[in-house]
Amino acid sequence: MRTTRSLAATTLLLAAAVAAVGLTACGSSSSSTKPSSSPVTKTYANTNYGFSLSYPGSLVESTDTSSTMAAGSGSKLTVGFVDPGGTKIGDVYVEGIVVSVYALTTEITADLMPEFKSELEGIVAQMQQQDPTAQMTQLETAAINGVPGYKLGTTYDNQGTTMKMVTYFLVKGRIEYQVTEQATEQDWAKYAADFDAAVNSFTVK
């Protein structure tokens, strides 16, 4: 029995070829590579799906996200938080945080978590076949503020730029929250602390 809508549509986090988080930022962008660390934070809260997170004030909220990675097929909501002074590939910014929300057909209880992991492992295997050059970690058990799930790390090439990405697959009842942080490998150390803090602030009510 599958715990979600279908294996293919469960979490198309990396789409067909492990493509980048694509975010279109509002406002003008800066050509400088400014430090992301900032004492100022903003809070995003979504009452429809009952979650919130705090993110660095230097990031810009965007719902105009590329469907190649974060949105996935069938996501109910995708919202991103992008650094408008960060790396741009093509016409999108690729350093930021993305949250996608999926409705599941089955309520995921503790005893169904192994089956949920098995489905995710199948999807990861498919993605690895589609892009053999991508390096993916094993799925790790993870939980953020009491919401259980799994964690996946990925390193891959996006048009000649090496990207690093960490995705959390979190489930509560019939809702899956896919929380992703991503930056270029070159700038990962600059963003990691702030992005980790934002992801660890993710709360489901």
For domain 7-26+41-204, say whether CATH 3.40.1000.10 is its number.
yes
Please state, in angstroms and rounded to a whole number, the distance separating the CA atoms of residues 186 and 193. Answer: 15
pLDDT tens column, 80-97: 999 999 999 888 888 999
Please state, in angstroms and rounded to a whole number, the distance separating the CA atoms of residues 65 and 51. Answer: 19
Please state, in angstroms and rounded to a whole number, the distance separating the CA atoms of residues 180 and 163. Answer: 13
Tell me the pLDDT band of 148, cut-offs 50, 70 and 90: very high
Report, as an integer, the average pLDDT of 113-122: 92
Distance of CA 61 to the CA centre of its chain: 14
Tell me the pLDDT band of 186, cut-offs 50, 70 and 90: very high
pLDDT tens column, 6-57: 322 333 333 322 333 455 444 333 333 344 445 689 999 999 999 999 999 9
Our CA dihedral for 185, 19, 191, 50, rounded to 10 degrees, sits at -160
How confident is the model at residue 39, as a pLDDT? 61
pLDDT at residue 72 tops 80: no
Please state, in angstroms and rounded to a whole number, the distance separating the CA atoms of residues 163 and 196. Answer: 16
Residue ranges of domains in the chain: 7-26+41-204
φ, ψ at 110 (rounded to 5°) = -60, -35
Average pLDDT, the chain: 80
More confident residue, 22 or 189: 189
How confident is the model at residue 23, as a pLDDT? 56
How confident is the model at residue 60, as a pLDDT? 92
Report, as an integer, the average pLDDT of 143-168: 95
Structure tokens belonging to residue 180:
């992703």
The pTM assigned to this predicted structure is 0.82
Cα within 13 Å of Cα(164), Cβ side: 12
Tell me the DSSP string of 59-110: SEEES-B-IIIII-TT-SEEEEEE-TTS-EETTEE--EEEEEEEEEEEEE-G
Side chain identity, residue 203: T
